[in-house]
Amino acid sequence: MVNKAKEARKQRKKADKEWGLKIKQRFNNKCAFCDAIKYIQAHHIIPREIKEFRHDPDNGIALCPGHHKWLVDFSAHRNPLGFFIMFEKKYPKEYKKIRLKYVKFKSL
């Protein structure tokens, strides 16, 4: 008999990988901010811990390692406010779409 928790983890990892590939493809495997093409990573705009948004294709952006985690002045993890400001400026339609989904979710 397969352990249910282990099977659920396996399915979640598979879905995470598929989600990441979709996000990177949507941004042509380039960083959404600097067009770098090496080591591109998919970043969750709304944290993946909120299950309802974990695999939502609108809840992702492709980033280079610097813009994802390492740049002090501007990275999605080190400066989330700066990230959201830049995301809204560069991708206003995408920002509005995911923001409206989140506001609707929070009002439930």
Q: What pLDDT, on a 0 to 100 scale, did the predictor assign at position 39?
A: 96
25 pLDDT band (50/70/90 cuts)?
very high
Q: What is the pLDDT of residues 83-106, one digit of tens each?
A: 999 999 999 999 999 999 999 998
44 strand-pairing partners: 60
Q: What pLDDT, on a 0 to 100 scale, did the predictor assign at position 74?
A: 82
2 pLDDT band (50/70/90 cuts)?
low
| Rounded average pLDDT over 50-74 | 92
Do 13 and 29 form a contact (C-beta atoms < 8 A)?
Answer: no
15/71: higher pLDDT: 15
Neighbours of 29 (CB within 10 A): 13
* pLDDT over threshold 60, residue 1: no
Do 66 and 75 form a contact (C-beta atoms < 8 A)?
Answer: yes
What 3-state DSSP class applies to 60? strand
Say how many CA atoms lie within 13 Å of 35 toward its Cβ: 0
Do 32 and 74 form a contact (C-beta atoms < 8 A)?
Answer: no
